[in-house]
Amino acid sequence: MNIFFWTSGFWPSIGGVETQGLLFVQKMQKRGHSYLVVTQKGHPSEKDEEIYEGIAIKRFDFKRILFNCGDTFKSVRNYVEWALQSFQPDIVHLSGCLGESAILFSMLRNLFSIPVVLTNHAPHYGIKMPSIVRKVCSQADRICCVSKWVIRETIKLIPEVKNKLRLIYNGIPLFSVAPTSLSFTPPVLMLIGRLSPEKGFSTAIEAFSLLKKRGSSAKLLIAGDGIERNLLLRLVRDLQLGDSVTFTGALKREEIPSTINRASLVVIPSHFESFGLVALEAMQMGRPVIASRVGGLPEIISSSEMGVLVPPNDPLALYKAIEVLINQPEKTIQMGAIGRTIALENFTIDQNAAQYEALYNELQ
């Protein structure tokens, strides 16, 4: 099939939606489907058009287009009309129902006479539901939610779309790097992801400070970049943790498994998480996970045998969970092994792709 994939972010931008989108399209193309990706231009240096690993990508500055309208909007409309004639897609797959990307798609929806599949990564972000979410959901033929939590929240907000909803968990491919044995000399805690407020990294740093005050030799590894980098650096300095905390900066995808191998356990202190790709990455590498009990994370860490869930924004509870695991190496190693088994059995990119492929076929 030919799929017109419209998304709020894509390679080389970094984030859960961007990463999952690239992995998904790569896998679907290997299964014989062709994709044309239309996405937000993440940086001025990015090309307007290019082919990346066989994936045709067209980038627009959606925000500028919406504010300027006029000829810039016409250029997007003309491109869509051209793509419909030349590419002849069988399905439109819209990734995300928030932001400028979704607004622009909604304005152009009448151009598409083919089925529209929407992946709903998150129904809202703790704010009053934007009207665009309801509109985009009403315009889709099927709405795929990345967790049961997203399904529940969507029904709560837009009950009229209940019959369109489907559950399709995200999945990741098998890393080419094998997991190494867990080491606790010293214990290494790892945070990985975008350095932004909703990820709760400041909570983890405060928990780590409590651990160090008890005389622990543990180290903290923070992998990622984002708007909170300077704030987190200042927090580390104010808590006098500088010798025990390392910031790696942003990681390329191929660097993720070897970096996770440096950790004894991975901490996900998010305030909001509709799914949690980092949890899957850590579990696949045999690392136990301590995560906030929010959003879709309890669906991944579904048993105390494979990880620990704590209340969000609670440094004391997080510290206590960390202390238990680093002081019980045998239990922690077993927890990592069980988590790896679950990740490899239940959350693969092959399962994710097969479910979307079945849905595409259902709509033909």
Looking at residue 130, what is its pLDDT?
Answer: 67
Percent of the chain predicted with pLDDT > 70: 97
Q: Across residues 121-145, what is the average pLDDT?
A: 81
Helix 99-108 × helix 70-86 angle, to 10°: 70
CA dist., res. 103 & res. 88, Å (int): 23
- pLDDT class for 66, splitting at 50, 70, 90? confident
Helices (H), the chain: 16-30, 62-68, 70-86, 99-108, 131-139, 148-157, 201-213, 229-238, 256-260, 277-284, 297-300, 315-326, 329-346, 349-363
Interval 297-317: pLDDT, tens: 999 999 999 999 999 999 999
Interior angle at CA 296, CA 295 and CA 301, nearest 5: 120
Q: Which CA distances in Å does 328 have to 148, 183, 305, 325, 332?
A: 32, 12, 13, 5, 6
- Please provide the size of the chain in residues: 364
Looking at residue 129, what is its pLDDT?
Answer: 55
95 contacts 8 by C-beta, under 8 angstroms: yes
CATH of 188-346, one of 3.40.50.2000, 3.90.950.10, 1.10.3730.10, 3.30.56.10: 3.40.50.2000
Question: Comparing 101-105, 138-142, 277-281, 337-341, which segment has the lowest mean pLDDT?
Answer: 101-105
Looking at residue 92, what is its pLDDT?
Answer: 98
- pLDDT class for 260, splitting at 50, 70, 90? very high
Tell me the CB-side half-sphere exposure of residue 354, using CA atoms within 13 A.
Answer: 7
Give the type of residue at 231: L
Q: In the predicted model, what is the mean pLDDT of the chain? A: 94
Q: Which residue has the tokens 């909001």?
A: 272
Question: Comparing 8-17, 204-213, 272-281, 302-311, which segment has the lowest mean pLDDT?
Answer: 8-17
- Strands 307-310 and 289-292 come out as parallel
- Strands 142-145 and 165-167 come out as parallel
360, pLDDT greater than 70: yes
CA dist., res. 210 & res. 267, Å (int): 15
Whose CA is closest to 55, among 95, 82, 77, 87?
87
What six digits make up the tokens of 353?
């792709």
Looking at residue 65, what is its pLDDT?
Answer: 81
Percent of the chain predicted with pLDDT > 90: 83
Whose CA is closest to 288, among 325, 247, 240, 328?
325
Domain ranges of the chain: 2-172+348-363, 188-346
DSSP string of 55-98?
Answer: EEEEEE-HHHHHHH-HHHHHHHHHHHHHHHHHT--SEEEEE-SS
The end-to-end CA distance of the chain, in Å, is 10
Looking at residue 112, what is its pLDDT?
Answer: 95
- pLDDT class for 99, splitting at 50, 70, 90? confident
Q: Which fold has domain 2-172+348-363?
A: Rossmann fold (3.40.50)
- pLDDT class for 39, splitting at 50, 70, 90? very high
Looking at residue 94, what is its pLDDT?
Answer: 97
> Would you say the CATH fold of 188-346 matches that of 2-172+348-363?
yes
Q: Which CA distances in Å does 268 have to 27, 183, 279, 307, 321?
A: 27, 20, 7, 11, 12
Q: Which residue has the tokens 């650096």?
A: 233
What six digits make up the tokens of 43?
């940086």
9 contacts 39 by C-beta, under 8 angstroms: yes
262, pLDDT greater than 90: yes
Q: Which residue has the tokens 């919406």?
A: 66
